[in-house]
Structure 1
Amino acid sequence: MSYPQPGRVDVRGLADHPLVPAGGGALRMVAPGAATAGRFGLVEYRLDPRSPGAAPHYHQTFSESFYVLSGQLTLYADGRWQARGPGDFAIAHERGAHGFRKDGDEPADFLILFTPGIAREQFFAELAELSRSGRRPTPEEMTAFYARHDQVMVDG
């Protein structure tokens, strides 16, 4: 019996994707698009209690999925906010309005999967830098920031 030519297997240890502060919590870029040849991007997110998370928005060129690992995460989907718990999954297809926040007194841990694997890590890196700097961008600067990262904000 013959086998196909062996493929490559990439392993990223925990030190390769440290947990870094992010607005209202912390995240780790488990598998950025650069590590997956653009096939997908995977982020582990920990949202602190009573954190605003991400206001309702949509993306035109990629989908974003959410899988709750622990705690209660409030997701915006189908025009309303709903609490979701461990094991719950949601996919926001292209142009599907979505958001997330943490309403309760315990943290929530969840995974975010982007397909295809656009360079979403740049979005999070820029947000973290804004937070660290303490600078408040103008509405025009935020509009340009969101446009650079294919994020269209909506009312919700």
Structure 2
Amino acid sequence: MAATPHALVVQAGEAAGATLTNGAFELLADGGAVSASRLTLTAGADGAPPHHHKLSHELFYVLDGTMLFRLGDTLTTVSKGGLVVIPPGLPHVFGAAEGASADVVVVLSPGIERFGYFEQLAAISRGEAEFASLLPEQDRYDVHFEELPDWRTPPTP
């Protein structure tokens, strides 16, 4: 007999979280069909280093504020109520727009266990670990880092 499917319900205050120097995040679901988190960023703060995913689509829904995204060679601003879906393989980076804070829900599908990745990012943001400590974990977390200095500057044609 097949197992009965079940729903995942995460009530307010039940999510695992971590404080960053530039905001905070809550990990709502970790692995399975989706990985989902809520990220809040202070004005102008970066959200993640430039990267791409080999396996997962990444979806961003802006709950409040304004986000800046670099999607390949495109720089775009997305405000409250906006949605961004990034396919596997597309280099991207994101953060709160200059002078604006942001509150965003981020969903990866298929889900990959990522809480360890977010804990490591938090430790790096607080100066407790080096960025290089994430390099051996790129396949594990499906986060493959890209070289993209000054990502907030529009690319030149």
Q: Provide TM-score, normalisation by structure 2.
A: 0.79
Aligned length: 146
Q: Distance in 1 between matches of 2:100 and 2:131?
A: 32
Matches within 5 A, 1:1-156: 7-22=5-20, 24-33=22-31, 38-132=32-126, 134-137=127-130, 139=132, 141-156=133-148
* Higher CA-based Rg: 1
Distance in 1 (CA, whole Å) between partners of 2:131 and 2:36 is 30
How far 1:136 moved relative to its partner? 4.7
> How far apart are residue 7 of structure 1 and its match?
4.8
Tell me the CA shift for residue 75 of structure 1: 0.8
- Give the unaligned 5+ runs of structure 2: 149-157
1:27 to partner: Cα distance: 0.8
- CA gap of 1:72–1:17, structure 2 versus 1, over 3 A, is same
Change (3 A) 1:89 1:10: closer
Whole-angstrom CA distance in 2 between matches of 1:29 and 1:138: 21
For residues 80 and 18 of structure 1, do their structure 2 counterparts lie closer, same or farther at Cα, with a shift above 3 Å needed? same
Letter of the 2:19 partner, please give it: P
Query: Equivalents in 2 of 1:12, 1:131: separation in Å?
Result: 26
Structure 2 CA distance, aligned partners of 1:71 and 1:138?
A: 28
Note the residue ranges of structure 1 that are not aligned, 5 or more in a row: none
Amino acid at match of 1:69: L
- Structure 1 Cα separation of the partners of residues 92 and 37 of structure 2: 17
SS at match of 2:95: strand
Q: Distance in 2 between matches of 1:80 and 1:86?
A: 20
* Contact 1:23 1:127 (C-alpha < 8 Å) held by counterparts: no
Q: TM-score, normalised by structure 1?
A: 0.80
User: Where has structure 1 moved over 4 Å in runs of 4 or more?
Assistant: none
In the alignment, residue 99 of structure 2 is paired with which amino acid? D
Which residue number corresponds to residue 154 of structure 2? Answer: none
Q: How far off its partner does 1:47 sit?
A: 0.9
Letter in 1 for 2:85: I
- Partner Cα separation in structure 2 for residue 138 and residue 85 of structure 1: 29
